[in-house]
Amino acid sequence: MKSTKEPVQNAPVIKDRATVTLSPQLVRSRIGKVCVAIIGSTPAEMIEKAQEAVREHTFFEFRLDYLPTPLTALPKLKQFLYEHSDVTAIATCRRVPGGGKFKGTIAAELEILEKAYLAGFHLVDLEIETAQSLKKGQLEKLRSHGGALIISAHDFVATKGLDATFEKIQQFHPEFVKIVSTAKTLSDNVTMMKFLERTRDLADVIGICMGEQGLISRVLGLRAGSVFTFASASVGEETGPGQIAARTLEETYRIDSIDAATKIYGVAGNPIKHSLTPAMMNTAFRRETVNGVCLALQASKLSDLLTLVRDVPISGLAVTMPLKQEILPELEKTDPLSGKVGACNTVVRSQDGKLYGFNTDVSAIVRPLERRLQLKGAKVLVLGAGGAARAAVFGLKDKGAEVFILNRTVETAQKLARQAKAKTIKRDQLAKTSFDVIINATPAGMHGVKLQNVLEPKEMNTRFVFDLVYNPIDTPFIRMAREKNIPVITGAEMFVQQGARQFEIWTGKPAPEEEMLRVVVHNLRQRAEAARQAKA
């Protein structure tokens, strides 16, 4: 939702609530799909953040419990709501026992919420623990001020007993029932969404799973029946574990366009938080008008992932470590490359529910090289002997290249060399050996990995350097090559190539490679700048 209303300059301070009182029915008609949580350590800071957010949104939750003295903020918030009459606002002052920050009494909380109604707030959020402890008449007094009431329950441990919690809240007859659990597994999201489907015709329900594994519920909950979802105003201002920034929800996950026909895809692995696959794939879906969305799936167990694939259902997966090998026995059939390499990074779910696997890592390594040189007869050094190295070695051997493997564990290199009919090389031979390409297939230089370099400059005797690490975009290996004026191929190009083939397998459409590369490079540069500023 976009707000085009300009703030009223020198607006008179309103003296009563009569001009902004809305019935619960009218409140329902005003709310949007995404409620943006506004925080601040002072009233001025909260207003400043709201003024920034109102440029793009008109549905807010003001977390009054983040303020040392919430009552002092209400006059400023009253003025803000008067100036922005198109804004719909929730007042929340959650006490510490309910997972909030307010250290006051229940009576103090009620006073703040009552005065929030009078200041122009359209909804107030009252936790179930507070509602259950109220004396006769206290809740009626709160509701007598008009507006709508949300009664919420938060479980910071698990996702369980959702129906029982729903019944407890319904006893108070609120306009909105809000149930927030914690996802410990991917399938906890399925539990939440099935609950939403059961209750969507019984009440206006907001249902969300917190935690990194709760992303699915935040994106797909609306489709299952949640009236709206919550988002942070920006990255770093989350009011709950796993909360997503509003812009990410809208631009990356396209939450406004998700409907019953939207196909769901995912990138699955552990860890997965920093994966750029969702941003890349969702950009491609938008560019090619595909009704699909790609989610990051934090999968600690393969069995949990397979439950999600079956129950959501998931139409396709991009599989990352450590599941590339583990998933093979679960597939109905794979392409020949997956069998050779012993790893699958792309899965398609057929209409009958069977899973088919492909390996796009091989072509993602081969194609960038084929654009630059003739691979038949080329002399290539592959550093490493893990999954990425296996894809490089088998792919290059298939193209007729002469492949050498260098790995810290000699036995692992020798085993791979035997399987692929390649060769091994000793470290002390590198300085006097030249290659057409040197490929880094180790994690060296990767964000979060301590090991920075696997070669010395004197050992980098080659026409081209290819680093399969894509985050950061300028790895120590790439920088070393540039210092020696050696042409480089970055991991971003490989990353986009494997994603482009996945997109084509999933959709049957040509991938918009340039657009995919643009968004990946943009995100990597943003991360690099953020890291630089954090160090400064």
Strands 229-232 and 34-38: parallel
Its sign, for the CA torsion 150, 155, 156, 159, is: negative
- pLDDT tens digits for range 302-315: 999 999 999 999 99
pLDDT the model gives residue 21: 55
Torsion of the alpha carbons at 154, 157, 161 and 163, rounded to the nearest 10:
30
pLDDT the model gives residue 382: 97
- Cβ neighbourhood burial of 51 (10 Å; 0-12, 13-18, 19+): middle
Residue type, 531: A
Residues of the chain with pLDDT below 50 are: 1-20
Cis peptide preceding 75, ω within 30 of 0: no
> Can you give the pTM of this predicted structure?
0.87
pLDDT the model gives residue 447: 76
Who contacts 464 (Cβ-Cβ below 8 Å, separation ≥6)?
369, 372, 373, 436, 437, 438, 486, 487, 488, 489
What are 108's two structure tokens?
A: 């103090």
Maximum Cα interatomic distance, the chain, rounded to a whole number of Å: 88
pLDDT the model gives residue 271: 83
Q: How far apart are the first and last CA of the chain?
A: 36
3-state SS track over 227-242: CCEEEECCCCCCCCCC
pLDDT the model gives residue 23: 66
pLDDT the model gives residue 445: 81
Catalytic choice (49, 78, 178, 324)? 324
Task: Report d(CA 86, CA 28) in Å as an integer.
Answer: 14
Within 13 A of 338's CA, how many CA atoms are on the CB side?
21
What values do phi and psi take at 527, rounded to 5? -65, -40
Task: Report d(CA 197, CA 16) in Å as an integer.
Answer: 40
Where do we find the tokens 């703040």? Answer: 112
| 207 SS3 class | strand
pLDDT the model gives residue 15: 41
Task: Report d(CA 288, CA 512) in Å as an integer.
Answer: 8
Its sign, for the CA torsion 132, 133, 136, 137, is: negative
Within 13 A of 62's CA, how many CA atoms are on the CB side?
39
CA angle (313, 517, 533) in 5-degree steps: 100
Q: Which domains does the chain have, with CATH numbers?
A: 26-150 (3.20.20.70), 362-496 (3.40.50.720)
Q: Verify whether residue 324 is a known catalytic residue.
A: yes
What values do phi and psi take at 91, rounded to 5? -105, 125
Nearest C-alpha neighbor of 417 from the set 430, 432, 426, 406 = 406
pLDDT the model gives residue 145: 84
Who contacts 197 (Cβ-Cβ below 8 Å, separation ≥6)?
224, 225
pLDDT the model gives residue 387: 85
Within 13 A of 1's CA, how many CA atoms are on the CB side?
18
